[in-house]
Amino acid sequence: MSYLFVGLGNPGERYKNTRHNIGFMVLDYFAKKFNLKFVPKFKGFISYWNNHYFLKPMTFMNYSGESVKEAKSNLKIPEENIIVIHDDLDLKLGDIRIKKGGSNAGHHGLDSISKLIGNNYWRIRIGIGRPADKREVINYVLSPFSKKEMEIVKKVLEVTTEKILEIIQTGEVKNERIFL
């Protein structure tokens, strides 16, 4: 049984290390740790390791579903074996929640995926917190983490990598909350 791990983010240097790109950051951290190489395919970059796939859609966040649908169809991965790693405004920085299905909570990347493949996939939600002013959400998610926040992000990357490895080793995904 193979899993497809999808890290959400936006392509390009402008978005590197921004809150919205935490999914890319997780897969990049995992790839560096296990020496994975990404190649262009399925409107994104994909890697294969230990019978599992790792995808970074290059369609921009709001169209992530196009890349995920193409990979799902070509790799014949069932929806319940797709695990999407993404930022979550409703969780504080350092909180991680693993959950199957549920609300997209206004996340346009998840909306795009759900419209094209359904809603029965797993999510690894990584808390980024909310801006004080709700009108600043777009600027907030597209801004980089501060140096202080990056200390927490490094721990998040380590813990999330451990969770991915645990899923690969056990073949099981389970609902879980982690507080750092």
Looking at the annotation, which residues are catalytic? 20
Neighbours of 152 (CB within 10 A): 17
Q: What is the CA radius of gyration of the chain?
A: 15
CA dist 176 → 20, 81, 99, 100 (Å): 22, 17, 7, 10
- In this structure, are residues 68 and 124 in contact, taking their beta carbons and an 8 Å threshold? no
Q: Tell me the two tokens of residue 156.
A: 């998040």
- In this structure, are residues 100 and 122 in contact, taking their beta carbons and an 8 Å threshold? yes
